[in-house]
Amino acid sequence: MSTVNHQGKVAFVTGGNRGIGLETARQLARAGVLPVIGARSEASGEAAVGQLRDEELTADYLIFDVTNPADHQRAYDHFHASVGRLDILINNAGVYLEGETGVKDLYDAASVPEEVLRDTLEANFFAPVLLTQKLLPLLKASAAGRIVNLSSILGSLTLHRDPASPIYGANSVAYDTSKTAINAYTVHLAKVLQQSRVKVNAAHPGWVQTSMGGSSAPMSVDDGAKTSVQLALLPEGGPNGGFFHLGEALPW
C-alpha cells in the first residue's frame, strides 16, 4: 500500500456491504479514505456501516443497484453535491450464476442459457461501464482519480488456452466472458485517460472465501481485498491499463 497521505479522499465501492467489497471499504477506511458503500437496501447499508463504526472506522452508504441507471444518476448527484468530485471508484458488484466457483459448472459454452448470459453480462460488464461513464467527470475533478474494475483470472484468454494453466478446465462461460469484456474496457478506457490524472486498472482478487467464491476457496477475504486497495491507492507513477493480482501483472 502507498505511504501517501490519503486523508480526505472519497471512494465509492459498489456491492460494498459484504464480502470483498466490505473488506475493501474497511481497508480503505484504515488508510484514511471515506468509503461510501453501495448497498441494495437500507438495512444492508446500515449494517455494513455499523460494522465498520464498531471498529472505529468512518464510512457511509448509498442505496444502490448497479443495474439500475437511475441509481447511477443518484450516485453522481450525491458525490457532486457533497464533495464535487470522486477520488476512487471500485466497480466491485457482480454476479456468478453458474454454480459454485471452482467446484462445479452448471453449463458450458454449448449449453449456457441466454438468460444466464444476459444477466451476467448486464451486472458484470454493461452496468460498471455505464456507471464509470456517468461518474467519470467527478473522477477527473479529483487530484488523483482511480478506477478499479473487479475482474478475475477467469477472464484471461491466454490462460484459458494454456493446458498447463490452473483455469484450463473452467467452463463458466458467462462469467468468464464478462470478465474478459471488463478487461477489454479497462484497456480502452486507459487509452482515453492517459493524458489525465485518472488511472484505471483491472484487479483479480483471487479465489476468495465469500458467498460467491464458495467454501472451497483458499484465500481469506482480507487477502482478497488487497489488490483492489493497492490499485485504489496507486501513486502518480503507478500503472494505467493493467491487470493485476497482489502487485503481479496477469496475462490478458
- 119's grid cell: 444477466
Is 133 part of any domain?
yes
- 24's grid cell: 475493501
Number of domains in the chain: 1
Judge whether residue 161 has pLDDT over 90: yes
Q: Is 61 a catalytic residue?
A: no
Judge whether residue 3 has pLDDT over 70: no
Is 169 part of any domain?
yes
The sign of the torsion formed by the CA atoms of 247, 200, 115, 64 equals positive
d(CA 115, CA 121) in angstroms, rounded, equals 10
Query: Per the residue annotation, which of 61, 96, 168, 175 is the catalytic one?
Result: 175
**Averaged pLDDT of the chain:** 93
Average pLDDT over residues 228-250: 97
* Residues facing 244 on adjacent strands: 203, 249
Is 162 part of any domain?
yes
| Inter-residue contact 76 to 138 (CB < 8 Å) | yes
Q: pTM to 2 decimals?
A: 0.93
Is 158 part of any domain?
yes
Judge whether residue 104 has pLDDT over 80: no
What's the confidence (pLDDT) of residue 210? 56
What's the confidence (pLDDT) of residue 216? 62
What's the confidence (pLDDT) of residue 101? 65
Is 145 part of any domain?
yes
Q: Name the least confident of 14-18, 141-145, 169-173.
A: 169-173
- Reported as a pLDDT band with limits 50, 70 and 90, residue 4 is low
What's the confidence (pLDDT) of residue 208? 55
| Residue 171 three-state SS | coil
Cα angle for residues 180, 36, 51 (degrees, 5° grid) = 105
Average pLDDT over residues 80-85: 98
Judge whether residue 179 has pLDDT over 60: yes
What's the confidence (pLDDT) of residue 215? 57
What CATH number does residue 29 fall under? 3.40.50.720
What's the confidence (pLDDT) of residue 226? 96
Q: Name the least confident of 46-50, 208-212, 238-242.
A: 208-212
- Reported as a pLDDT band with limits 50, 70 and 90, residue 2 is very low
Is 251 part of any domain?
no
d(CA 126, CA 130) in angstroms, rounded, equals 6
Average pLDDT over residues 91-100: 92
Cα angle for residues 136, 141, 145 (degrees, 5° grid) = 65
Tell me which residue range forms the domain holding 93: 10-243
d(CA 73, CA 77) in angstroms, rounded, equals 6
- Reported as a pLDDT band with limits 50, 70 and 90, residue 100 is confident
Judge whether residue 67 has pLDDT over 50: yes
- 47's grid cell: 449494517
Is 155 part of any domain?
yes
- 14's grid cell: 459498489
What's the confidence (pLDDT) of residue 99? 81
Average pLDDT over residues 152-160: 97
- 200's grid cell: 484505471
Judge whether residue 177 has pLDDT over 70: yes
Closest listed residue to residue 232, CA positions, set 55, 6, 36: 6
What's the confidence (pLDDT) of residue 222? 86
- Reported as a pLDDT band with limits 50, 70 and 90, residue 173 is very high
Is 89 part of any domain?
yes
